[in-house]
A = this chain, B = another copy of it.
């Protein structure tokens, strides 16, 4: 950490501040310039509160040099994390995972039909929303408990592990047979939820918040990992920008950046990133050379009758075409969809 003092600071203030830092177990290196004095801090600064240091009247600026995340940091854990999904598949071991299914579970027929379709096309995990975060209280909020039951029925039917979103920690018991618990974009900084999920041992798929930085995202992963659960999968799903032609802006560069900063697997959600079904296959294809460990795609048996987000769902035929194409692309990279 670097602390910049203004040049009018009295020597006694500098001295007592430095003494305080030493008593916190930190080493200091001082560079005195004409207009500013720089204190370089060496040691574990992750517990120092930047705001409080900045409140000191003689401090001009504080800059953190080391990343504030530890468990998620590739520097301290150079090996890739491989997340085992109920012994049925793995995410992050050099393969390309495909999570597919409807935005929301609607009926037994719909869920099972889509499950069979995506399984037949080669998806490796099944998704389906039971608890739906909706901007409007008047929109369909998901089938909730009944939705989970239908999703688990489909799981039984086709044998794929399932991913579904949790919105309230009080419903955790209902997720016993769910294979991967998703934390949605709007809950990325619901710290109480993250803490509780850190205590369970299920894989957690953590979506990036609408307008959260990569660093904040890794800090949210750190919340889960600090509780003891290292099975975190990061999911880039587009960020909020000034552009309005697409619902969000897919931050494709987040994939290689995360691969550098962390050892956790990274997947891409092209459906939410664009909100436009015709663009989903193209964005899915870019995820492959970007280095993603997989994608999550919305598939609905009849998008124009979907109870929500039909505009971003592929139909089973479109998904099957995409899978055939992706298979070749993934092989081009020397990987497999399994």
Contact = CB atoms under 8 A, between A and B. Distances in A.
A334 interface: no
B2 A137 contact: no
Interface residues of A, number: 111
Contacts of A94: none
Contact of A186 (B189, B239, B309): B189
Interface string A17-37: 000000000011111111110
Contacts of A216: 135
A311 B55 contact: yes
Residue among A34, A213, A256, A278 with the highest chain B CB neighbour number at 10 A:
A256
A159 interface: no
A282 B274 contact: no
Interface string A305-338: 1111111110000000000000011001000000
A224 B303 CA distance: 31
State the copy count for this chain: 4
Q: Which of A31, A56, A223, A285 has the most CB of B within 10 A?
A: A31
A11 interface: no
Given A252-B250, A309-B51, A32 B42 contact: yes
Interface stretch (A80-88, A107-115, A240-248): A240-248
A42 B51 contact: no
Interface stretch (A62-70, A121-129, A150-158, A173-181): A62-70
A66 B5 CA distance: 11
Given A52-B307, A65-B4, A289-B286, A219 B135 contact: yes
A35 B250 CA distance: 31
Instruction: Find the residue from A30, A40, A46, A275 having the highest chain B CB count within 10 A.
Output: A40
Contacts of A290: 282-283, 285-286
17 contacts: A2-B65, A28-B31, A34-B42, A46-B136, A50-B311, A51-B309, A51-B312, A137-B223, A186-B190, A186-B191, A213-B244, A213-B245, A240-B242, A241-B241, A241-B251, A250-B251, A253-B282
